[in-house]
């Protein structure tokens, strides 16, 4: 925690307002957004803040409201390598949508960042109870995962010196 968070307040109006703005929730109705708002809070982070570490239990998915987050992995003999960045409106930490999952990378803010942070177990329970909500969230998460895997594959080719020209 940063000490700079907006507390949950039974569907906090600010959280609900932010939920309405993000692409992840564009196809959801008002009642679904209100239920999601009840399991979320807004947090502000300074630049350089580690949000989670590779290998730790994945607990809280986030949506970046403003700022920029770097996803980094520690590669033996190479050190820490940025494998992706997550910016405004994007889902950060899709692994936390799955129970008993661990982070596949670390996340560190590249500049001052504001996130909408979900209670992972509570969000997963909502998704289980409302399959349409679950489908919409997992559809977006899968699109992100597929895109990032493709990007990481290209980075691996670059890292091992493969000439793509």
Helix (H, G, I), strand (E, B) or coil at 61: coil
Q: Does position 21 have pLDDT exceeding 60, yes or no?
A: yes
Domain boundaries, the chain: 5-159
For 127-151, the DSSP string reads HHH-HHHHHHHHHHHHHHHHHHHHH
Q: Which two tokens stand for residue 137?
A: 């969230």
Q: Which CATH class is domain 5-159?
A: mainly beta
Helices (H), 29-160: 30-37, 120-129, 131-159
Residues 92-140: pLDDT tens digits? 998 899 899 999 899 999 999 999 999 999 999 999 999 999 998 888 8
Residues 1-18: pLDDT tens digits? 444 554 444 448 899 999
Q: Does position 155 have pLDDT exceeding 70, yes or no?
A: no
Top pLDDT among 147 and 159 is at 147
Lowest mean pLDDT among 34-38, 68-72, 77-81: 77-81
pLDDT at 78: 82
Q: What is the pTM of this model?
A: 0.81
- Please give the average per-residue pLDDT across 134-159, as a whole number: 71
């Amino acid at each position: 925690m940063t000490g700079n968070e907006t507390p949950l307040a039974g569907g906090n109006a600010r959280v609900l307002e932010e939920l309405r703005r993000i692409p992840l929730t564009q196809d959801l109705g008002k009642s679904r957004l209100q239920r999601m708002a009840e399991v979320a809070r807004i947090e502000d982070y300074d630049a350089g803040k580690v949000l989670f570490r590779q290998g730790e239990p994945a607990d809280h998915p986030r949506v970046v409201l403003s700022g920029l987050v770097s996803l980094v992995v520690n590669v033996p003999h190479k050190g820490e390598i940025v494998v992706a960045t997550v910016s405004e409106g994007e889902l950060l930490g899709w692994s936390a949508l799955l129970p008993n999952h661990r982070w596949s990378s670390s996340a560190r803010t590249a500049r001052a960042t504001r996130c909408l942070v979900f209670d992972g177990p509570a969000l997963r329970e909502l998704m289980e109870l409302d399959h349409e909500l679950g489908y919409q969230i997992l559809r977006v998460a899968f699109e992100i995962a597929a895109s990032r895997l493709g990007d990481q594959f290209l980075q691996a080719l670059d890292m091992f010196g493969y000439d793509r020209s």
